[in-house]
Every structure is written in structure tokens, then in C-alpha cells.
């Protein structure tokens, strides 16, 4: 029983461990070597899905901390990724409070809204409060591919949820 509970805890912590690992390690979702513009923001897909489906396994404080780590590793001003992730949490929680049943299509649309708000805040803060400059084309491609890949990861995460965590509204 205790062993089962421990394994279940590990499975439940999987998404959070993945989020921390993506923020702190060299692993990235930037596939420019394969295709010049193919980059995606995997962290926000991960956060949005789990905040929407199982908020109890993706605590706000952990997401905030992962954002701070991401800022240090990437060289952004501290707190900016956390803010961007918190906007994703906010939209995700709002959608969860307002909806009873969700489908892949509705999640996809609301994810688009969350990503737009989050990126708008992220890049406007960077643009106004730091010396870093960005290519709008790259931001556009990044958003496009993040949105494009969302349903694929939605299915993978749903499968993970059903197989290892136990379904609730998957």
C-alpha cells in the first residue's frame, strides 16, 4: 500500500519534475537545427494543461519558482518568466471555474488566449524595461508552433493522466 502510494506520488509529480528540469537544464524545445523557425514554448503548454486538468499537481508556488530559475538560466530580468507563467495559470483557472466539460477544441482556443496574454506581457515588459531586442518574426513563429503543437501534447498528457494518475475529466 505504502509502495503504491509512493509510486503514485512519483507519477503525480511527473509534470512538475519535467517543468523544473526544462527550466534548469540545457534541454530546450528549440529545433532550429531541424527547421530554421521551429521553436516552441513547451513550458506554457505543460503549465496550461495541468492547471486546467489537475491543478493540485501543479502548485502555483512551484510554477513561480520554476519561472525564476528559467530567468536566471536564460539571462532575462528576474521575475519575468514567473509573471508570464502566472498569467497562464490565471487564464487556466478562470477557464476551469467557468466551464463544466472541456474538449480539445475548447482547450486549444482558450490556450491561444492564455498564450497571447502571457506573451504580450512578457515581451512588452522586456521591450520597455530591458536593453534586449527581439525579432517579431521569431516571436510569431514561436507562438504559431506552440499553438500548433498544443493538441499533440494535449493527447500525450491526457494519455499520461489516464495511464498513471487516473482520469478525472480526461
Partner 1 sequence: MSVSRDDFSIAFRSALLQRGGAQKFSVLSLIFLALFIFFIDVYGAKFTKPIRGLINDIVYRITFLASAPTRFFPEAKKDLSNYFNVKDENIRLRAEIEKYKLLQLNVEFLSDENKNLQKILETEYFNKNLSNIILAKVLVDKNSPFLKSIIINKGKKAGILKGMPVTKDNYLVGRVVDTNYLSSRVLLLNDLNSRIPVTLDQGAQAILSGSGSANPTLEYLPEDYEIAENINIFASGKDGIFSPGTPIGITSETGDVNLFVDPNQLSFVTVNLNTQTKGKF
Residue 125 binding partner 1, by CB under 8 A: yes
Alpha-carbon dihedral angle through residues 4, 8, 9, 11, given to the nearest 10 degrees: 140
* Dihedral pair phi/psi, residue 68, rounded to 5°: -60, -45
Q: Does 27 bind partner 1 (CB under 8 A)?
A: yes
Among 15, 19, 39, 47, binds partner 1 (CB under 8 A): 39
Name which position in 2, 3, 4, 26 contacts partner 1 (CB under 8 A).
Answer: 26
117 binds partner 1 (CB under 8 A): no
With CB under 8 A as the contact rule, the residue among 52, 57, 114, 147 that binds partner 1 is: 57
Residues near 10 by beta carbon (within 8 Å), at least 6 away in sequence: none
Between 39 and 161, CB nearer to partner 1 = 39
Taking the C-alpha atoms of residue 13 and residue 6, their distance in angstroms, rounded to an integer, is 11
* 28 belongs to the binding site for partner 1 (CB under 8 A): yes
Looking at residues 133 to 152 of the shown chain, list those that interact with partner 1 (rule: CB under 8 A). 133-135, 138-139, 141-142
98 lines the binding site for partner 1 (CB under 8 A) = yes
Task: In whole angstroms, give the CA distance from residue 33 to residue 138.
Answer: 14
* Inter-residue long-range contacts of 79-87, CB under 8 Å, 24+ positions, other chains counted: 80/122, 80/125, 80/126, 81/23, 81/122, 83/121, 83/122, 83/125, 84/44, 84/118, 84/119, 84/121, 84/122, 85/43, 85/44, 85/47, 85/118, 86/60, 87/114, 87/117, 87/118, 87/121
Among the listed ranges 1-9, 94-102, 111-119, 152-160, the one in contact with partner 1 (CB under 8 A) is 94-102
Stretch that binds partner 1, among 1-9, 107-115, 129-137, 161-169 (CB under 8 A): 129-137
- Residues of this chain that interact with partner 1 (CB under 8 A) are 21, 24-28, 30, 32-33, 36, 39, 55-61, 64, 67-69, 72-80, 82-83, 86, 89-91, 93-94, 97-98, 125, 129-135, 138-139, 141-142
Amino acid at each position: 500500500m505504502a509502495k503504491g502510494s509512493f509510486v503514485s506520488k512519483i507519477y503525480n509529480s511527473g509534470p512538475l519534475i519535467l517543468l523544473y528540469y526544462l527550466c534548469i537544464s540545457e534541454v530546450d524545445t528549440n529545433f532550429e537545427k531541424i527547421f530554421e523557425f521551429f521553436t516552441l514554448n513547451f513550458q506554457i503548454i505543460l503549465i496550461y494543461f495541468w492547471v486546467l486538468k489537475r491543478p493540485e499537481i501543479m502548485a502555483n508556488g512551484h510554477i513561480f519558482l520554476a519561472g525564476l530559475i528559467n530567468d536566471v538560466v536564460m539571462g532575462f530580468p528576474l521575475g519575468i518568466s514567473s509573471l508570464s507563467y502566472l498569467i497562464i495559470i490565471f487564464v487556466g483557472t478562470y477557464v476551469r471555474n467557468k466551464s463544466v466539460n472541456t474538449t480539445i477544441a475548447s482547450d486549444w482556443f482558450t490556450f491561444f488566449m492564455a498564450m497571447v496574454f502571457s506573451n504580450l506581457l512578457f515581451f512588452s515588459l522586456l521591450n520597455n524595461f530591458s536593453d534586449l531586442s527581439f525579432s517579431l518574426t521569431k516571436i510569431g513563429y514561436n507562438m504559431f508552433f506552440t499553438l500548433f503543437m498544443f493538441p499533440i501534447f494535449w493527447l500525450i498528457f491526457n494519455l499520461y493522466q489516464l495511464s498513471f494518475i487516473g482520469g478525472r475529466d480526461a
